[in-house]
Structure 1
Amino acid sequence: MSKETNLRYEQPHKPSKLYQEYTKQLEANDRMLINNLDQKSLDDKELHDKWFEKSNLKVKAKAIQIEKKQLSEELKLVAKASMLVRKKALALKMEEEQKMYDEELREMGKTFHKQRI
């Protein structure tokens, strides 16, 4: 064998420029795909976080509406109870005053005539 033939087989193989460009392009494509997947993953996570945040806002808003409704119902019940208490107090006061008038008339020797229907 000639010296050139020996050198060709003994030296490390040097790939062609076309092959080198092809492998670089493949690596670049792989990196781009990985970056795209990472970006898509981040975008999906961000979208999920926004959705979750809006969902929480909706839940809080609904809870506030329910609380307002309950408060208005409680206020109605309080107003009704207050009205009943005031009516009862007025009835007791009227009864007390009626007894007082009856007592005064009795002391004067007069009676207060009540007609039954």
Structure 2
Amino acid sequence: MDGELRPTYIRERGFQNRTRDGVLSMRDNILQWLKFARWLDRQGVSQLSDCTMEHWKAYAAKCTSGCTRGHAQTVLRWLSDLWAFDQLSISPCGVTRPPWEDEGIDDYLPADTGEAGGRTRPSRWTRP
């Protein structure tokens, strides 16, 4: 690595409030990257730079299906790290920016019940 993560990226993920991820978390992160690479290969994508928004969206739907909202958020952030760290590389491979980095992550997360899709917070205008 020869650069620094953008301050907004660090702030949004709360990196300033923790030291280093534990070994198990780092292992899980790397395993998720490997799963993503294998999935892309099955889609006929042999280079990360050829991953499109449609690939990101399809994989996000696949890998967050059936998990809790919190775990899904962790997985999507791990995938975003792949893009962020590529930008710091001396020889970046051109990982495209995941769509949830621009559009917001909420619509890519399952509901609190573990079902797919969108926001689960009640409107502030409705009564419980």
* TM-score relative to the length of structure 1: 0.23
TM-score (norm 2): 0.21
Name the structure with the higher helix share: 1
Greater RCO, 1 or 2 (C-alpha within 8 Å, sep 6+): 2
Higher Cα Rg: structure 1 or 2? 1
